[in-house]
Structure 1
Amino acid sequence: MLLKGFYTVEKLEKVSEGKYLAEVLLNRQHEIFKGHFPGNPVTPGVCMMQIIKELSQEILGSPLFMASASNVKFMALINPDKTPRLQLELEISGDLNSEVKVKNTTVFDDTVALKLTNTYKKA
């Protein structure tokens, strides 16, 4: 985990071939929220992208590095004081020996917060 203590994986399960569902709990007391932003914490988009990478690595059992990101859409602010629990759907395809494509939708309550497609290569 790049940011120690930033979040906890509460659930990570395979739903069907190549499709996974994860539930993470953000640590609203984490140091990053003191600066982003004081009095109105917002989860940085780059941190959300890192969570997706780390979940993908756990699923695949291999370190990855991001080769490209496309269709990245931040659709709602994630305030850890109001909505610390996030559900992430991951659809993983490709060959770990070349490139792996990960499509993600992140939601809280009934709100879509993030949609993206990342391409990773084995590190």
Structure 2
Amino acid sequence: MLENDFYTIVSSEIKEDTISSKILLNKNHQIFEGHFPENPVTPGVCMIQLVKEILEKTYQYNLQLSKISNVKFTALINPNVNQELLISTQVNKEDTLLKIKNVCTFTDSTVALKCNATFLVK
């Protein structure tokens, strides 16, 4: 689990089928020492895990990533430049699956990540 170590949820709300969260990255986290020194970049796998954890916390499910598609990293997420991120996740529940469309932006509305994914409810 990355919450409260790699990132903190500042706020989160659900409107209809969309979760909107504001998170704060821990720019002093040790992962940034190796990825990359003096020019930290948030690893893509950490961003996907962060989205999964927000879903699990919101719905109180244990989830397993089943499929991910249309992953587009459109801006480098440097925690020294953009420590605060806005995560918008549209969720469609189907039986034991959560299908999502996710967009991560900086506070200036620059899109940093877009992806579609399917999670299996365990």
Q: What's the RMSD between the two structures over aligned residues? A: 1.2
CA–CA distance in structure 1, aligned partners of residues 82 and 97 of structure 2: 33
The residue that corresponds to 1:98 in the other structure is: 96
Identity of aligned residues (%): 43
* 1:108-123 correspondence to structure 2 within 5 Å: 108=106, 109-123=108-122
Q: What SS does the aligned partner of 1:53 have?
A: helix
- Please, what TM-score do these two structures have when normalized by structure 1? 0.94
CA–CA distance in structure 2, aligned partners of residues 19 and 41 of structure 1: 30
4+ aligned runs moved over 6 Å, structure 1: none
CA–CA distance in structure 2, aligned partners of residues 44 and 89 of structure 1: 19
Q: Number of residue pairs matched?
A: 121
Report the alpha carbon displacement of residue 94 of structure 1 after superposing the two structures with TM. Answer: 1.7
- Please, what TM-score do these two structures have when normalized by structure 2? 0.94
Amino acid at match of 1:13: E
Q: What SS does the aligned partner of 1:34 have?
A: helix
The residue that corresponds to 2:40 in the other structure is: 41
The residue that corresponds to 2:85 in the other structure is: 86
Q: Gaps spanning 5+ residues in structure 1: where? A: none
Q: Gaps spanning 5+ residues in structure 2: where? A: none
The residue that corresponds to 1:6 in the other structure is: 6
